[in-house]
Chains A and B, each alone.
Chain A
Amino acid sequence: MNVVIVALAIPLLTALAVAFAGRSPALRNAVTLIGGGLLAVVVFGAWPTVIGGDRPTWEAWAILPGIELLFVLEPLGLLYASVAAGLWPITSVYAAGYLEGAGEKHRTRFFVCFALAIFAAMGIALAGNLVTLFLFYEVLTLSTWPLVTHKGTAEARRGGRIYLGILITTSVGLLLPAIVWAGLLAGTTEFRAGGILTGKASPAVLAVLYALFLFGLGKAALMPFHRWLPAAMVAPTPVSALLHAVAVVKAGVFAVLKVSVMIFGLDNLDQTDASEIMQWVAGFTILMASIIALQQDNLKARLAYSTISQLSYIVLGATMATSLAAQGAGLHIVMHALGKITLFFCAGAIYVAHHKTLVSELDGLGRKMPWTFAAFGLASLSIIGIPPLGGTWSKWWLTLGALEAEQYWIVATLAISSLLNIAYLLPIVARGFLRPSAEPPHAGAPQDHGHHDGEAAATMVAPLMLTAVGCLAAFVLAEPAIRLLQGAIP
């Protein structure tokens, strides 16, 4: 059977099954886990086929005349799908532990929406044309909104409003006209190697269209459309971890990369300089978001701004319009996902075990939660890009791309940003391990209900250790991903 249909069907069926298994928590968790496991097997199983040059395709039916609901499994999409599918089961385990530990309600709705979000992510990964991409892009926005407002408090509702407001505004206000326009210019909306817009419009029009696309893909969180990401941090931490560090934000940058490579075409962008303005926007976002992150005391907010900054690495890689940089951008989707999900897992574990949300409260906590803080440290190093961690490779490739394009300011930006990364990530680890504990033991005893004073539950620590080890492993095992990317971006 067609791997594309299977990859789409599994999360959708999981969502349905979870909805019906809602009464029994054990069954519900089991169904999610089985669905996640199966999806990971299917997606990773497709690697040899795709590296071999095969492109499994499913042409469902015509939505509009000449525009099919079209799914194509190509290398770039497979990479993004692998990230989402590989981390889903791990997050499911973590989420079960987190929801239990944090005492959240409406868990069935949570897991249903989660599975739907993964379904949408698969749709985005596999989309064969812009309309299909847009369809699933919106499904992703809408299915994650109940997750953001999950707590139902006034703060959560406000967060949800900003989330939905910015994402729908950008997608309907900028992305939709961009897609219609591109479709009119090119006569098709299909993703094709080398792009479809070469020679179809003047450089000025291309530049406007490119800006419409990049700002319209609001999930990529380019400034000034980044506010939704910190707002979304009111969501339970597993949501922040998988969706707002991996699936949702990566859907944005993945779409940016795919649009740059397969709609505009890198050569076309290079020759017309249509992406130059957006390079500056991305560079500005990298530095600005890092500086804002420095000032955040709330741990999740700091991580959110760090995410905004890191996402622009990928956008920058796409806008440089050289294959090396674009490959680096693709690689960064994977490496940043592994690192950032670990960081969020740790933030959630700290919250559940000790009810701490502020960086300034973390003094001495590392000695109580050594595994969690060790994982945090590893992931931080990966984000910064220090060998032997996965993050090294993506920064390496991006820098090579910038050198090849002779864009030295980009090299400088990357270097400064790395320093800023060190400045806002490593002090957290240092506080945990080196500073003396701020409060005497058991000071916050009344709020304890069942959790011990050390690490969080094993269902939370095991996933975060796994992803931290993943950061290490990614350094050694990056080769297939690079081969995949070289196939996508020759």
Chain B
Amino acid sequence: MILAHYNYWVVVLLMMIGLYTIMAHSNLVKKLLGLMMFQTSVFLMFISLGKIEGGTAPILTGDAVAYSNPLPHVLILTAIVVGVATTAVGLALVVRIHEAYRTIEEFEAIERDKRENQPA
């Protein structure tokens, strides 16, 4: 029963690792990696939802009995694009933060803001 839903266990595990990484790390790049992992877990959930045991790709060949649902795959294609865009924006921000603060550690950056207290 539990093993039958192993895909969900993988999803939950990945999700938790991702969330933990986001919260636990001060390094902005690591935060982004966690975020990506977190997103990927949801993508896996969607994709595994569409799979039907014994089903094949939904191409009419005549001898297939069951088809897997293609719609989640299509959706996740969109979500992956969104994920890539998010990562790109995030990394761009990290680059800019590094230029401005000379660090990619969040706490250090905050410290620097407090110390230098520069208005603009």
A–B direct contact (CB < 8 Å): no
